[in-house]
Structure 1
C-alpha cells in the first residue's frame, strides 16, 4: 500500500454562492460540485432550462441534463500552464445515447449558457468510456454538461488527470501498522478552497497545509 492509497487530499473550489432556483432554472439548482478523484452518480433529471440555453443549439442538444461544476487545481511551476482533464463515465443506464461536453463559464454567472466557452469536443457515449478535454487553464471554473433525449438517465462520473490532482507526497510505502508524517502545501484560503479533512489542516505562512 503506498502513501497515495492511504492519504488522499481533495481540494475543491467553493462554489457555494446561493442561486435563486426560480431565476436560474431547475438544471442550475440541481447542479453538482465535483472534486478530482471523487466518484459521483449523475441522474439526468432536469430539463435544459439554463439561462441563455438557446445559445447551446447545435453545440449541445439534449432535453434532460445534469450540470456538474468543477475547478482545476493550481499546477504551479510543475507543469504546463494548461493541462487536460479526463472524464471517466461508467455504469451508464440510459435508453438513449448520452452526450457530454465541457465548457468554461463566466465565473460570476456560472449558469448562463450564453457565456459558455467550449472546452472539449462534443462526445456521444453509449458505454463505459474515458474522455479527454482540451487543455484547461489552472485554478479555473468549468462546467461539465451531461445530457440525453431520454429521461432519468444515470451515469457514474469521475474527474482525473493533473488538472484535477494534487500531488500530496512521495512514493514511499507504508507497511501495515506503521505511520508516517505527510506535509501538504495548499492554497490561500482567501481564494475559496476547502481542505478535507479540515481537522488535519493547519496554517503554514499564509496557506493551509
Structure 2
C-alpha cells in the first residue's frame, strides 16, 4: 500500500475561503482598528488557518489594503519614506503620492476612496490613517513629545483635501495642473506641519 505524497502549494481551504477572509477582515478592521486586529483573529473568524491568510494576502498591511480595495501595497509609499530624512518628508511625500494618484493604479485607489467616503466604512480610512500612516511617521516628528500624531493628521488633512479637490470634485484649473507642480507647491506647508512650530492653544 502506498500513500499519496502531499502536493505542494497553498494550505488547505475551501474555494470561498478568500472571500470569507476579506469579509471578516473588513469587519474586524472597521470595528477594532488595524493595531488591535490580528491575522490570527481574522483567520479564526473565517474558519481557516493563519497560514492560508498569509498565502492569499501576504502581510497584515497587504491584507488591510485588500480589505479596503486599495490596489497598491502601502509599503509602496511607506518604504521610500523610511529612507527619507525628516527634513525632506514634506517634499518627498507628495512627490510619491501625486504621480501615483495620476496613474492608472491611482484611478482604482481614488474610486475606493470615493466609495468609502460615501459609505459606512469610513472607519477603515480612519484606521488606515491613524494606525498605519501615523504609526509609521509620527515617532520621527514627535517634537515636542506628543505632537507627532497631530502633525501627521494635519498632513493627512491637506493630502485628503488635494485628492478630493483634484480627483473627486475636479476643481479646475487645479485638477489639470502637473502633479510635480502641485507637489512642489504644497511641500513647504507639509514640511511646516511635520517639523515647524505648532500654535499652542
TM-score normalised by L of structure 2: 0.25
Structure with the larger helix share: 2
Structure 1 or 2: more strand by fraction: 1
TM-score scaled to structure 1, two decimals? 0.24
